[in-house]
Homo-oligomer: A and B are copies of this chain.
Amino acid sequence: MSRYEASGYWYGEGQSAPEAVDLLNLMRRYRDAERKMRAQTRGSMGMNETDMTALRFLLREHRKGEVPRQRDFAEELGISNASVSALIDRLCRDGYAERIMHPADRRSVGIVPTRYSDTEVRETLQQMHERMMSAVDGLSADERRAAAKFLHALIASVEWNEHDLGQSAQRDHELRDVPGSKLASS
């Protein structure tokens, strides 16, 4: 209990539907749950966020039959080439990946996952993925349509920002006046 859902608690068929704010709260709950879960996985594997993301990218590419190069990681992760060098060092040191010569370009280094890393990740993330899949499969066609519409609406709302803002921010850092409070000591 103590779930804090603002208005509608059940949504059970004939009941009152959830408000927009309830849905956004649910999204936040989902995001937090996922973040927590990923943090746990990372923790148990002794990895940081970036390295974990890199490893998942590597496994994804590998399954597609691609052999990514370091520059691909830099682009995917949004970090510098130098940082990728260090990152791949760590993945290799800990036995998750290996450097091979790239077949087509001798300047490049091909990155491949070890069998170890595949099973390691599969045992954690993929189980959850399968549970999510079967859970969502239990929805009706109409419900899936509605969920997709919902998500499309949210994505559009978020992506709208990227074109709009991005310039006005770093202004007047001096004139900060503090709110009237100052309710110190007592």
Taking Cβ atoms with an 8 Å cutoff, the residues of A that contact B are 11, 13, 16-24, 26-27, 29-31, 33-34, 36-37, 39-41, 43-46, 67, 78, 94-95, 98, 100-101, 103-104, 112-117, 119-120, 123-124, 127-129, 131-139, 141-162, 165-170, 173-186
**What are 27 inter-chain pairs, A to B, with CB distance below 8 A?**
A20-B137, A20-B139, A20-B144, A23-B136, A23-B144, A24-B129, A24-B132, A24-B133, A29-B155, A39-B78, A41-B165, A67-B183, A98-B178, A101-B185, A112-B178, A112-B181, A112-B183, A113-B179, A123-B168, A124-B169, A128-B161, A135-B153, A135-B157, A136-B150, A145-B146, A146-B150, A150-B150
* Contact call A186/B133, Cβ cutoff below 8 A: no
